[in-house]
Amino acid sequence: MKTFTTPVSQFIGAGMLGLMFAGSVQADNHGMKKDIVDTAAGAGQFETLVAAVEAAGLVETLKGEGPFTVFAPTDEAFAALPDGTVESLLEPENQEQLQAILTYHVVPGKIMAEDAMAADSATTVQGQDITITTMDGSVMINDATVVQADIEASNGVIHVIDGVLMPE
């Protein structure tokens, strides 16, 4: 059994969201790799995630040095939540709950797919563990399937998932 753990203190001042093409490295107009937030914002499939990161007040934290591993739900994953869930979470009075949900999608350190497949679990920035399983060539994070893996950014790596992870 292999578990990834990193102190939460190493997360503060780090980077979070983004994706475009599996296995690619995103770069800005000057040839520099984009951070996770900028990569996500430019991808077109993470508008809800980017809006949630902004509402949670995590943009600057998630543009930090890292490295971080982000399990990024697509807009379709957020749309599959019960009606009104996303809208409720984006309300200012629910910022703390939204922060907990988003940080449950982030693991300190850079964990590439090959390493994740060798693990049983990982401790999230939020503090709880996520379960990692591999079946029939697919990697599952709790009940969500990784649909794109190893999207590198300047401050970590993104794995696209088809569900929103909810902490207990």
pLDDT for residue 5 is more than 70: no
For residue 19, tell me if it sits in a domain: yes
pLDDT for residue 22 is more than 70: no
pLDDT for residue 62 is more than 80: yes
pTM > 0.85: yes or no: no
For residue 166, tell me if it sits in a domain: no
For residue 103, tell me if it sits in a domain: yes
Pairing of strands 68-73, 156-161: parallel
For residue 168, tell me if it sits in a domain: no
- φ/ψ of 13, rounded to 5, equals 90, 35
36-43 helix and 47-55 helix, angle to the nearest 10 degrees: 140
Q: What is the DSSP string of 53-113?
A: HHHTT-HHHHBSS--EEEEEE-HHHHHTSPTTHHHHHTSGGGHHHHHHHHHTTEEES---H
Q: Cβ(133)–Cβ(139) under 8 Å? A: yes
What band does 122 get if pLDDT is binned at 50, 70 and 90? very high
For residue 146, tell me if it sits in a domain: yes
What's the number of domains the chain is made of?
1
Instruction: Residue 116: give its domain's CATH number.
Output: 2.30.180.10
Residue 91: which domain range?
Answer: 3-161
Digit-coded pLDDT (tens) for 130-141: 999 998 888 999
Determine the pLDDT at residue 43. 85
Determine the pLDDT at residue 32. 64
Determine the pLDDT at residue 6. 38
